Chains A and B, each alone.
Chain A
Amino acid sequence: MANFLVFAETRGADLRKVAGEAVSVARRLADASGGGEVHAVVAGPPGVAQKADTLGRFGADVVLAIEHPALATFAREAVAATIAQRAKSATYRAIVLGFTAQGRDLGPRLAAKLDAPIVSDVTEVQIAGDSLTVKHPAYANKVVVTLSITGTPAIVSVRPSAFAATEVARAARVEPLAPAIDPATTRVKVVQVIEGAKGRPDLADAPVIVAGGRGLKAPENFKLVEDLADAFGNAAVGATRAVTDEGWRPHADQIGQTGRQVSPQLYVAVGISGAIQHLAGMRTSKTIVAINKDREAPIFKVADYGIVGDVLEVVPALTRAVREAKKGH
């Protein structure tokens, strides 16, 4: 029997989707190693402990709540020190967290503080006795590496949306966890959070992504991409590196090898030729649609459904058709 510790990520006072996924992974691993407990750490402003119910639903036995006004933003040093202190005072087989902006920062800190082996961005995890094995897409998703990890606790960061958050009936008991260092006096301080576009899901969470490339010809034509995303209703907007390098869109929107890596249910590539750099960021999407004027463009080699044509003409027509189809539901 072995216990597992999870970092259940929040933004402000809200749990992120990946928190449930990480708890689910830990639940499955705990069950596979004889039914140990899952302890989920949640850090946030006072009141964040009330989110515990949700974590219980995904299989947490204990919710460890670090509450402090300065945790309304990610006080990384305080969170890392507190989790490390907890992990030293108990025995955990592994610590599970999301491979997100927070998790990428927190995981290596914990590894160093606990002298614990770490694997990042994993898409599969297996445990059998002392052996922990993971799959990790490396080389920008072009090679899948199977890694074996020896030593405890192992630190495992999971790729968002790679694991399902599975509901199990469980009531978690909540215990306060005191910060190991004062979250208000850390050496790295968040001074401002700049919110992104309102009303659109993030690229990591969106079931549909509409992305635009240089085939749109001018930055103002990105409106067509946004209109199509609005027609789907649940879509995020992405861009190619060529477009973000030109400054048509912020760098944060870039999908590709050096940008975001996404796997939505539906990916619509608008005026994107399909450079290897871009394909590395989206080739794991479930269904790919491509609209491009060049029949020879490499994007058509991976597109389940391709339309050859001028994006300025085809995209507005598609937007109207999607709106109609949505109305029919």
Chain B
Amino acid sequence: MKIAVCIKRTPDSETRFRVGASGSSIDEGGVKFDMDDFASYAVEVALQLKEKAGSGEVVAIALGPDNVQETLRKAMSMGVDRGVQLKADAVPFDGLAVAKALAAELKSSAFDLIFFGKHAFDTSEGVVGTATAELLDLPCVTAASKLEIANGKGTARRELEGAAEMVEFSLPAVVTIDEGIARPRYPSLKGIMSAKKKPLETKPAQLGTPRVAVKSMALPPDRPPGRIIGEGSAAVTELVKLLQTEAKVL
């Protein structure tokens, strides 16, 4: 079982963001970065499949400046065998441009499965995985919340709005990973030590020409300050009145 996992380095999701001086990026001062949550689920699923198969290789690929090497090392400390950095000054806000670089890297290696997170926290678009699959002309399942691989075939569950669907697909394939599928493991001390010696290759990213550009970023308007209207069930009458007369939602 040969699996590639495309991972992204994103800011800590608990951050209180500020807009940077340029007005078109976040202020990264004091912001912690780590492997994106969805990417970490994808890494975990890949490692579990390799362990179940008893042999194989899991390769992590990240696009970006040299700081993504830290994210690749983290993947390797979890158990990924080697890392590939597709070097670029920055990750554009253009999912198709990124997908082109990943497809160029992935097309020459015969992977059974290629995993992505369903989307990355920062751009929150969910374009790259599915677009990469199309560029490679591979079957693709987006946002799998359950996944089983057996006899060269895959079965996945996808959450729909108010329902779910089960899909079957042939391998090789691309799968983007939703939450709830697996709890990512913590790197062990031994994992951290061995990650330092695992191969990490760097090559230039063959990005497409970005056609989606960030003009500006802004924080959403603040909500009015909260108001406590009372205590215990005695406050219920007042609440219903306010919902009827002030908020007009009842």
**A264 CB → nearest B CB, Å:** 9
Which chain B residues border A196 with CB–CB below 8 Å?
162-164
B residues 12-71 touching A (CB-CB < 8 Å): 13-15, 17, 19, 26, 37-38
Q: Which of B121, B179, B228 contacts A259 (CB 8 A)?
A: B179
Using Cβ atoms and an 8 Å threshold, which residues of chain B touch A309?
231-233, 235
Q: Give the total number of A-B pairs whose CB atoms are below 8 A apart.
A: 287
* B164 and chain A: residue at smallest CB distance: A194
With A108-B131, A190-B167, A306-B229: A117-B242 Cβ-Cβ less than 8 Å = no
Structural contact, B217 and A189, CB atoms closer than 8 A? no
In the complex with contacts A187-B170, A289-B239, A283-B211 CB distance below 8 A:
no
Q: In the complex the two chains form, what is the Cα distance from A277 to B242 in whole Å?
A: 28
Give the CA-CA distance A120 to B237 in the complex, in Å: 43
> Which of A74, A117, A286 counts the most B-chain CB atoms under 10 A from its CB?
A117
Q: Smallest distance from the beta carbon of B176 to chain A beta carbons, Å?
A: 9
Q: Choose from A117, A192, A290, A316 the contact partner of B166 (Cβ within 8 Å).
A: A192
A322: which of B216, B231, B250 is its contact (CB, 8 Å)? B250
Q: What's the least CB distance linking B198 to chain A, in Å?
A: 29
B131 and A109 within 8 A (CB)? yes
The answer to the question of A193 belonging to the interface, with a C-beta cut-off of 8 Å to chain B, is yes
The digit string for A93-111, where 1 denotes a CB below 8 A from any CB of B, is 0000000111011011101
CB neighbours (8 Å) of B228 from chain A are: 295, 300, 303, 306-308
B141 to A, closest residue via Cβ: A188
Contact B167 A188 (CB under 8 A): yes
**Chain B residue, CB-CB nearest to A283:** B223
Total interface residues on A, CB under 8 Å, equals 103
Residues A194 and B249 in contact, CB atoms below 8 Å apart: no
A residues neighboring B (CB under 8 Å): 11, 73-74, 77, 80, 100-102, 104-105, 107-109, 111-113, 115-121, 133, 136-151, 160, 187-197, 200-205, 207-208, 232, 244, 251-252, 254, 257-259, 265-266, 276-277, 280, 283-284, 286-290, 295, 299-310, 313-314, 316-318, 321-322, 324-326
**What are 24 sample pairs from A and B whose C-beta atoms fall under 8 A apart?**
A105-B142, A108-B99, A109-B131, A117-B96, A118-B131, A137-B124, A142-B17, A146-B218, A151-B211, A188-B139, A191-B167, A192-B166, A193-B166, A194-B157, A202-B162, A244-B180, A251-B180, A254-B179, A257-B13, A283-B220, A288-B223, A305-B227, A307-B239, A313-B232
* Residues in chain B near residue A318, CB distance under 8 A: 233, 236, 239-240
Say yes or no: A136-B215 contact (C-beta < 8 A), given A112-B135, A254-B179: no
Residue of B with least CB distance to A157: B125
Please tell me if the beta carbons of A108 and B95 are within 8 angstroms of each other in the complex. yes
B89 adjacent to chain A (CB < 8 Å) = no
| A111 surroundings in chain B (CB, below 8 A) | 95-96, 127, 131, 134
